[in-house]
Amino acid sequence: MSLPTTIEARACCVPRVTSSLTVDDAERVARVFKALGDPTRVRLLSLIAAGEGGEACICDLTEPVGLSQGTVSHHMKLLADAGLVTREQRGKWAYFALDRDAMDAAAAALRLS
């Protein structure tokens, strides 16, 4: 039995995917998007981005999100582990800044080429 000419003439099973992320890159990107999957963490990133010099002290992040310092510290650890923020200890306070390269890489992972 033969297929109709219109179907036979089509290129069947031509690879449409020309590149993909490596397994390591996919795991790294997944950690980033998992960290971004929580609204509180997205808000924290927004607060840091809006902070003077693009950074914020942990002490300035608790009130705007309405959470304890311990809970905010936990969220910030997840963001730091995902590579989205850098942490600098200044005396007893931790200051966080966005890692612009990591943010750009996360956005690039979604771009179509």
**pLDDT tens figures, 11-39:** 566 666 666 778 887 888 888 889 999 99
Total domains, the chain: 1
Residue 31 near residue 81 (C-beta atoms within 8 A)? yes
- Give the range of the structural domain holding residue 58, as residue numbers without chain letter: 22-110
Cα 43 from Cα 51, distance rounded (Å) = 12
Any idea what the CATH number is for the domain that residue 68 is in?
1.10.10.10
Instruction: Please say whether the beta carbons of 83 and 99 come within 8 A.
Output: yes
Average pLDDT of span 73-97: 95
**pLDDT tens per residue across span 40-81:** 999 999 999 999 998 999 999 999 999 999 999 999 999 999
Does the residue 2 lie in any domain? no
